[in-house]
Amino acid sequence: MLGIILAAGMGTRMKSSQPKVMHELVSHPLLEWVLNSFEHLIEDKHCDKIAVVIGENMPALKTLVARWSLEKGIEVRLFYQKERLGTGHAVKMAMPAITELKDAEPVYILCGDVPLIKSETLKKMLLVYQGGDIDAAVLTVEKEDPSGYGRIVKDQNDTIKKIVEHKDATPEQLSIKEINSGMYLVKAASLRESLNLLKNDNRQCEYYLTDIVEWMDKNGGKVISVITDDHYEVSGINNRYQLSLLEKVARKRINKAHMMNGVTMIDPEQVYIDPQVSIEPDCIIEPMTIVKGKVSIGRNCIIGPMTQIEDSVIGEGNRIERSHLSGVRVKNNVKIGPFARLRENTVLEDNVKIGDFVETKKTTVGKGSKAQHLSYLGDTTIEEDVNVGAGTITCNYNGFSKSQTLIEKEAFIGSNTSLVAPVKIGKGAIVGAGSVIVRDVPEDCLSIARGKQSNKEKRASELKKKYKKERNG
């Protein structure tokens, strides 16, 4: 089976320099949503080939297709529509792939700017196709106001005779509520022959794909409709306003699926979750939370409010409040925030506490360790049961390269300490507050590295008088 996606349009109404299908819906390009609709058909061994028809000079689109093809393990071929001469002409550009098919093999034709098409609907179309001797199945929907859409004209046997554009319809045809979605499942032999006989004798001088339906009917073929009751599923995107409307629909569906699976959302309209995110039951997601990329969240977590998590693995029983995590692995029963920033390659073991205004990068924090206030920990390994005092900084960068800091188990780092890497703090050691540590601290050692304090009697009042006089001129 072959799937064809039409993606050559630049989308001038998007007012953009990038192809329309590369605009993002819930953090993913429109084309990726349509490609993903084939996922279940690929898994079930129904679909083994995909063709994408694109325009010239679309490097980002080519990169997306190559990545998706590699991830899914399926061949995706690109075909170029150099001149935009209509939908029929676009499908004809994929004729080399169509020609390779057996006569009875089905061909899906989907639109790259209709992102919410469901895998279940594609399966339904396939079942209808397999259940009868038909040449094509057209995905349709009934609209109360069908103005502007192509009408589905049927006979008394519910067979489609033709698809008539709104501007060409008779008054009787204009009363038809069933409209064309622009998506089809067609027998390869019928598609090959009808495409080769398409004509462009119309005002636009374009080759319309809809004309294949009338050709099949006149040549003894049979075309039927598969009706969906989901209007959004067949909604195309022509401008940024329409994109925003479908963004809300897609996010609502994603959130509903999580809530039906046992996730609580205090206010789902203020929760933004990407489609590939996994959340286990009994989690609570609070308002103004954003979960992006490949994220998994274990049971009994409380996330938010005002939290962003990206490309991270979150274990069970964690509390993450008003914080930003990217590329992080969090084990179990960890408390993060408020206002923490955890960056790439941070690992937090069980029962860790990371508090307000703490930043980490390439850092592992061992079981039961704490850094609760105003610290930067970079290129650092912190073992078990370590206390990192407020204002501690690991000075990991010398302007040319990064160096490592190791804090062994049960060490105590006093407030406002600078650890100049490379450096090691031994097991059970104590570093006095305000220290600048430039050499290793041995195990069970008290290390203090600060200047000698000097107290000058009655000097404070004299300085105040001096500064006041200088200020007043």
240-253 pLDDT per residue, tens:
999 999 999 999 99
pLDDT (mean) for 12-34: 94
**CA angle in degrees (0–180, nearest 5) for 161-165-167:** 135
Where in the sequence numbering do the catalytic residues fall?
373
Residue 400 has pLDDT above 80, yes or no: yes
Residue 43 has pLDDT above 90, yes or no: no
Taking the C-alpha atoms of residue 137 and residue 186, their distance in angstroms, rounded to an integer, is 6
pLDDT band at 325 (very low <50, low <70, confident <90, very high): very high
Q: What is the pLDDT of residue 93?
A: 96
Q: What is the pLDDT of residue 271?
A: 98
Residue 346 has pLDDT above 90, yes or no: yes
Q: What is the pLDDT of residue 453?
A: 80
pLDDT (mean) for 93-112: 95
Give the lowest-confidence range in 37-41, 203-207, 281-285, 382-386: 203-207
In single-letter form, the type of residue at position 110 comes to L
Q: Report the helix count and the strand count for the chain, using DSSP H and E.
A: 11, 37
Q: What is the pLDDT of residue 452?
A: 85
pLDDT digits (tens, 9 = 90+) for 136-188: 999 999 999 988 889 999 998 899 999 998 888 899 999 999 999 999 999 99
Instruction: Break the chain down into helix, strand, coil percent, rounded to 5.
Output: 25, 30, 45
pLDDT band at 12 (very low <50, low <70, confident <90, very high): confident
Task: Name the more confident of 454 and 264.
Answer: 264
φ/ψ region of 49 (left if φ > 0, alpha if ψ in -120 to 50, else beta) reads: beta
Distances (CA, A) of 469 to 121, 340, 459, 461, 472: 83, 44, 16, 12, 5
Domains assigned to the chain: 2-234 (3.90.550.10), 240-447 (2.160.10.10)
Mean pLDDT score of the chain, rounded to an integer?
A: 94
Q: What is the pLDDT of residue 201?
A: 78
CB 287 within 8 A of CB 308: no
Sign of CA dihedral 77, 112, 2, 45: positive
CB 279 within 8 A of CB 297: yes
H/E element holding 59? helix 59-72
Residue 427 has pLDDT above 80, yes or no: yes
pLDDT (mean) for 264-288: 97
CB 166 within 8 A of CB 150: yes
Q: What is the pLDDT of residue 263?
A: 98
Q: What is the pLDDT of residue 132?
A: 81
Residue 202 has pLDDT above 80, yes or no: no
CB count in 10 Å sphere of residue 363: 25
pLDDT band at 7 (very low <50, low <70, confident <90, very high): very high
